[in-house]
Chain A
Amino acid sequence: MSNLTTAAYLISSVLFILSLRGLSHPSTARRGNFLGILGMTIAIVTTLANPGVLSYKEIGIAFLIGGLIGTSIAVRIQMTALPQLVAAFHSLVGLAAVFVAASAYYNPSAFNIGNVGAIPMGSLIEMSIGTAIGAVTFTGSIIAFGKLQGFVSGNPLVFKGQHFLNLLLGLGIIALIVKFCIDQNQELFWLIVAASFVIGVLLIVPIGGADMPVIVSMLNSYSGWAAAGIGFTLSNNLLIITGALVGSSGAILSYIMCKGMNRSFLNVLLGGFGGEQAASADGVKDDRQAKQGNAADAAFMMKNSKTIIIVPGYGMAVAQAQHALREMGDLLKAAGAEVRYAIHPVAGRMPGHMNVLLAEANVPYDEVLELDEINRDFSETDVAFVIGANDVTNPAAKTDKTSAIYGMPILDVENAGQVFFVKRGMASGYAGVQNELFFRDNTLMLFGDAKKVCEDIIKGLEN
C-alpha cells in the first residue's frame, strides 16, 4: 500500500470518528452525517485508484444498483419501521463480509495474501473468523427483521436442549476453523459458512419481541466486528478502526438497553423472556377494579392543569399516534400548560426510537427529556399522560422483590397529581406483570386505540 493511500485511509478513519462525535448534540449531528459521507467517499475513491482495480464498468453497475435500492428504501420507509430497516441493513453487511472473505479465499493474490492453496496461516484464521461473524450477523439479523416486521412470531421460541445445541454448534465451528486453517479445503470453508448461518438463526429465535432493542444493538456490534475481521485479512487499518468504532458503539448501546431493563446481557441472550408463557406463569387473578375514565374527562382535567408530562411507549408507535399526540400537546400548550415528554431508555423497539418518532411529529427536541433528567419532576406535576407504555411505569419494580421486573429503573409517574393511562385493554405488559399503577387512587384508565383516544381528547379540548 502506498503512503498516499495509507494517508487517505487515515483521513477517512478520522472523518468517521468525527462523524460519530457530531452526534453528541442535535445541532451538530447533520454535519456529522455529512463528514461520514465524506469519509466514505474518500475511502471508495482511494480504493478505486488502486492499480489492481480495473473493472470500473462492472463495479459502477453493481454500485449503482445497490445505491438505487438503498436510497429508494431509505426515502420511503416509515419512521415506525426503523428498527426492522436497521436489522435488514445489518444483515447485508454480514453477507457482504462473507462474500469478501469467499473472494479472498478463491483469489488471495488480489489481497496480497499468497496464492490459492498456499494462504498463510494468519490470514486463514482472520478470514474464517470474519466469515463466521459475518454469517451469524446475516441470519441473526434476518430473524430479528422477521420478528420486528411480524413475519416471524415475536414470541420466544424455546425448546429443550437449545443451549446445549448452540454450544455444540459453536464448538463445531471452532473445530471446522482449525481444520480449515490446516487443510485450506473449500468444502470446509462453506461448512463454516453454513454452520454459522444455522447458529445465527438459533441464537435469535428464543428472544422475545420487546428484547429486540438489545438484539438490534448487538447485531450492530457484530457487523462492526465482521468488518474489523476483514480488515485484518486485508491488512487495512481503515476497516479495523471503523469496525472497532461500530463494534464498540453497538456494545455500548446493548449495555445501556440491558441496564434500562435491569437484566444481564446473558439473561437476554438466553432468551425465553416475555411473550405468552411469562404472562400465564404469573397466573394470579386480580379482583381489584381500575377506575375508568373517558376522553372528555381527561380533556377537561388537562385543560385546567399547569404542568403535564407525556410518557410515550411502543404502543404509541404501533398506533401511529405521534402526530395526534403532538396536536394534543400543542392545544394544551395554547391553553397555558407546560407540556414535556419523558422517555425511558428501553421505550420502543430500538435505542432512541421514541425520540425520532416525536421529532417526526414536530415535537421540539428540547421538550423531550430522558429518565434521569425528568424523573424528579413528576412529584411537582399535575398530570402524567402515559400512552403505549406499561412496564416502565410499574411501581412494583421498586417495591416488590418477587416481581419479574424488580430493580428495573422506572418513570415515577405515580407521583404526579393525576395519571391518565391510555391502553387497549387490561392485559398485562410485555414482562407479564400486572401494573400496580392501574389500581392507584390517582390513576384513570382511558381504554381504546392510542390514536383514537388522542383525537377524542383533541375534540374535547377544542370545545
Chain B
Amino acid sequence: MSEISNQLENLSYKAQQIANEASQLASSVVDTSGGHSDFIIFGITVLVLACFVGYYVVWSVTPALHSPLMGVTNAISSVIIVGALLAAGPIDSTISKYFGLVAVGLAAVNIFGGFVVTNRMLSMFKKK
C-alpha cells in the first residue's frame, strides 16, 4: 500500500514539474509574440482547426435532426454577445456603448429564442 502511495506521490511531483515547464514555455511564447498582429496567424490556425472539428461533428449529426441543428447553431452563433458586452461595458455614455447595448439585446433574442425553440423541437422526438 505504502509503496503505491509513494509512487503516486512521485508521479504527481513529476506531473507538477512538467506542468511548470509547460507554463514557462507558454509564457515565453506570449512574451515573444507581442501585440495584435501575431494574433492573426494564431487566430487563423484556430479557425482552420475548428473548421475541421465542425466538419466531422456536423457530418455525424443525423439528418432527422437537421432542423434542431440549425436552431442550436443559430443560438450559439450569438456568442457574438461577448463582443457586445465588452462594447456596452463602459460607464460613460458614448455612441459606441449604445451600439453595444443594441447588440446585447439582439443577441439575447437569438440566444433565448434559439435554445427554447430547439428544446421544443427536441422534446417532440419520441421513440415507439
Q: Do A and B come from one complex?
A: yes
Chain A contacts to B: CB under 8 angstroms: 12-13, 16-17, 19-21, 23-27, 29-30, 32-33, 36-37, 39-40, 43-44, 47-48, 50, 52-55, 58-59, 62-71, 73-75, 77, 79, 82, 85-86, 89-90, 92-93, 95-97, 99-100, 102-107, 110-113, 120, 122-123, 126, 216-217, 220, 223-224, 226-228, 230-250, 252-253, 256, 343, 345, 350-353, 355-356, 359-360, 362, 364-368, 370
Choose one: B57, B86, B119, B127; the contact of A47 (CB below 8 Å).
B86
Closest B residue by C-beta to A232: B43
Knowing A23-B62, A47-B86 touch, does A89 contact B68 (C-beta < 8 A)? no
Enumerate 24 A-B pairs (CB-CB under 8 Å) in ascending A order.
A33-B72, A36-B115, A40-B76, A55-B90, A59-B101, A62-B102, A67-B109, A68-B112, A70-B114, A71-B113, A99-B84, A104-B87, A111-B83, A113-B36, A224-B73, A226-B77, A227-B80, A235-B39, A239-B80, A244-B47, A244-B53, A244-B54, A250-B70, A360-B124
Q: Is the CB of A111 within 8 A of B58?
A: no
B94 to A, closest residue via Cβ: A107
Which of A52, A74, A245, A353 contacts B53, CB < 8 Å?
Answer: A245
Are A36 and B75 interface neighbours, CB within 8 A?
yes
With a cutoff of 8 Å between Cβ atoms, the chain B residues found around residue A86 in the complex are 70-71, 74
Shortest distance between the CB of A51 and any CB in chain B (Å): 9
Q: How many Å lie between the Cα of A417 and that of B109 in the bound state?
A: 50
CB-contact partner of B70 in A40, A232, A350, under 8 A: A350
Indicate if the CB atoms of A107 and B87 lie closer than 8 Å. Answer: yes
Tell whether, in the assembled complex, residue A21 and residue B60 are in contact, meaning their CB atoms are under 8 Å apart: yes
Interface pair A248/B58, CB less than 8 Å apart: yes
**Interface assignment of B34: CB less than 8 Å from any CB of chain A:** no
User: Is B15 in contact with chain A by the CB < 8 A criterion?
Assistant: no
Residues of B near A360 (CB, < 8 A) are: 124
Q: Are A70 and B73 in contact (CB under 8 A)?
A: no
Do A23 and B69 form a contact, CB below 8 Å, given A40-B79, A242-B79, A370-B64?
A: yes
B121-A242 in contact (CB<8A) = no
Residues of chain A contacted by B105 (CB below 8 angstroms):
62-63, 65-66
Say whether, besides A20-B57, A30-B119, A52-B90, A250 and B97 are in contact (CB < 8 Å): no
Chain B's interface: helix, strand, loop or mixed, by majority?
Answer: helix
| Nearest CB of chain A from residue B82's CB, rounded to whole Å | 5
Verify A356–B60 contact, CB threshold 8 A: no
A residues less than 8 Å from B76 (CB atoms): 16, 19, 36, 39-40, 242, 245-246
Do A55 and B89 touch across chains, with their CB atoms under 8 A apart? Answer: yes
Q: Find out whether the CB atom of A66 lies under 8 angstroms from the CB atom of B57.
A: no
Contacts of B60 in A (CB 8 A): 21, 24
On whether the beta carbons of A70 and B125 are closer than 8 Å, the reply is no
The A interface is mostly helix, strand or loop, or mixed, namely: helix
Contact A366 B91 (CB under 8 A): no
Residues of A within 8 A of B63 (CB): 256, 343, 345, 351-352, 355, 370
What residue of chain A has the Cβ atom nearest to residue B64's Cβ? A355
In this complex, the member of A17, A39, A345, A362 whose beta carbon has the largest number of chain B beta carbons within 10 angstroms is A17
CA A37 to CA B71, docked complex, whole Å? 12
The answer to whether A245 and B89 touch (CB under 8 A), given A29-B65, A67-B112, A228-B47, is no
Contact residues in B for A82 (Cβ distance below 8 Å):
67, 117, 121
B104 to chain A, nearest CB (A): 4
**Residues from chain A with Cβ under 8 Å of B19 in the complex:** none
A30 near B122: Cβ-Cβ < 8 Å: yes
- A253 contacts which of B70, B75, B83, B113 (Cβ < 8 Å)? B70
Cα of A182 to Cα of B7 in the assembled complex, Å:
62
CA distance A403 to B39 in the complex (A): 52
Cβ A248 vs Cβ B115 within 8 A: no
Q: B66: CB under 8 A from chain A?
A: yes
A242 touches B77 (CB 8 A): yes
CB of A236 within 8 A of CB of B112, answer: no
Taking the closest CB of chain B, its distance from the CB of A158, in whole angstroms, is 28
Name the distance in Å between B100's Cβ and chain A's nearest Cβ: 5
A422 to chain B, nearest CB (A): 23
The one of A25, A66, A217, A248 that contacts B109, using a Cβ cutoff of 8 Å: A66
Closest to B83 in A: A100
Contacts of A71 in B (CB 8 A): 112-113, 116
Bound together, the chains give a CA A58 to CA B115 distance in angstroms of 23
B55 CB contacts on chain A under 8 angstroms: 248, 252
Q: 1/0 per position for B20-46, CB-CB distance to A under 8 A?
A: 000000000000000011011001001
User: Please, how many angstroms separate the alpha-carbon atoms of A20 and B59 in the complex?
Assistant: 10
Contact A52 B66 (CB under 8 A): no
> Which residues on A sit within 8 Å (CB–CB) of B102?
62, 96, 99
Task: Give B127 Cβ to nearest chain A Cβ, in Å.
Answer: 6
Residues in A whose Cβ lies below 8 Å from that of B125:
26, 29, 355, 359, 365
- Nearest A residue to B23 via CB reads A3
Evaluate contact between B70 and A216: CB separation under 8 angstroms: yes
A89 contacts B114, CB within 8 Å?
Answer: yes
Given A23-B72, A62-B101, check contact A110 B86 (CB 8 Å).
Answer: yes
Measured CB to CB, the closest approach of chain A to B40, in angstroms, equals: 6
* Also in contact, A224 and B77, with CB within 8 A (given A24-B60, A66-B106): yes
A245 to B64, CA, bound (A): 19
